[in-house]
């Protein structure tokens, strides 16, 4: 429940079932958590309420970061430290590990998505990831004539000895919107679902579970992954 007189956007991220899904498997209670891309702090609010002992949340969008600071004060999220900056650079310099890394809505904004996943593995044995993924058969009919404008031809990428195809996604005019909260580059690379899952296994997660695959939102098929090294 938001304080009187305040309202959030159309998506109720403060009571998001994705947080509950992650908690049901990983259990945030008493755990140290690194959250990548907290947006306005809705998921952070949920993780804090489920008893995480300490949360570091890194946000690269300045407007979203200020919202996070507001949410922290409104709800007294005293076990949360919000940081402003690039999540990849943060992970590259990080010399600590976390019990859980929570990354919702960030992978498909990356120019080097495999690198991000590898960095996550370097700093935890348990993670929750929610992301869009590339599926030509689903997406092309939905985009119609815009498909060739929004997505480029596949490119071969390799990281840590793993090879797969990735698909350039162009933000276009969205970059000029005042409420834009996507990636910091003009484009990103999207991965196919099976390649995401396979790479997580390749870098050392020996238990990778897929949840809630959704292709009904055809312009952006999405799913949840809970990956662990047990």
Largest CA distance in the chain: 53
pLDDT at 129: 98
Give the residue extent of every domain in the chain: 13-228
Q: What is the mean pLDDT of the chain?
A: 92
Asked if residue 2 has pLDDT above 90, the reply is no
- List the CATH code of the domain at 13-228: 3.40.50.150
User: What pLDDT, on a 0 to 100 scale, did the predictor assign at position 95?
Assistant: 96
Give the pairing of strands 187-191 and 126-132.
Answer: unpaired
Q: What pLDDT is recorded for position 123?
A: 98
Question: Would you state the pLDDT for residue 17?
Answer: 95
Minimal CA–CA distance to 192: which of 167, 158, 157?
167
Find the helix or strand (DSSP H, E) in which 155 lies: strand 155-159
Identify the three-state secondary structure at position 52.
coil
Q: 123: buried, middle or exposed (CB in 10 Å: 19+, 13-18, 0-12)?
A: middle
The arithmetic mean of pLDDT across residues 34-38, rounded, is: 97
The percentage of the chain sitting over the pLDDT mark of 70, rounded to a whole number, equals 90
pTM, 2 dp: 0.93
Q: Does residue 72 register a pLDDT over 60? A: yes
Neighbouring-strand partners of residue 170? 187
Instruction: Give the Cα separation of 201 and 150 in Å (integer).
Output: 30
Higher pLDDT, 186 or 118: 118
Integer Cα distance of 222 and 139 in angstroms: 11
């Amino acid at each position: 429940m938001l304080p009187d007189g305040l309202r959030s956007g159309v998506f109720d991220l403060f009571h998001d079932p994705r947080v509950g899904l992650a908690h049901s498997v990983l259990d945030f209670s008493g755990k140290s958590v690194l959250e990548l891309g907290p947006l306005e702090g809705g998921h952070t609010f949920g993780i804090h309420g489920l008893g995480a002992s300490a949360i570091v949340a890194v946000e690269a969008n300045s407007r979203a970061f200020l919202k996070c600071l507001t949410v922290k004060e409104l709800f007294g999220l005293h076990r949360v430290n919000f940081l402003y900056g690039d999540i990849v650079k943060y992970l590259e310099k990080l010399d600590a590990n976390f019990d859980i890394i929570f990354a919702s809505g960030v992978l498909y904004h990356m120019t080097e998505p495999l690198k991000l996943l590898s960095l996550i593995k370097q700093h935890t044995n348990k993670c929750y990831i929610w992301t869009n993924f590339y599926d030509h058969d689903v997406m092309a009919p939905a985009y119609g004539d815009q498909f060739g404008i929004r997505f480029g031809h596949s490119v071969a990428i390799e990281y840590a000895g793993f090879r797969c195809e990735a698909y350039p996604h162009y933000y276009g005019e969205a970059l000029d919107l005042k409420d834009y909260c996507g990636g910091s580059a003009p484009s990103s690379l999207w991965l196919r679902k099976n390649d995401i899952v396979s790479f997580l296994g390749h870098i050392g997660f020996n238990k990778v579970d897929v949840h809630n695959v959704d292709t009904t939102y055809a312009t952006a098929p999405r799913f949840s992954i809970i990956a662990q090294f047990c």
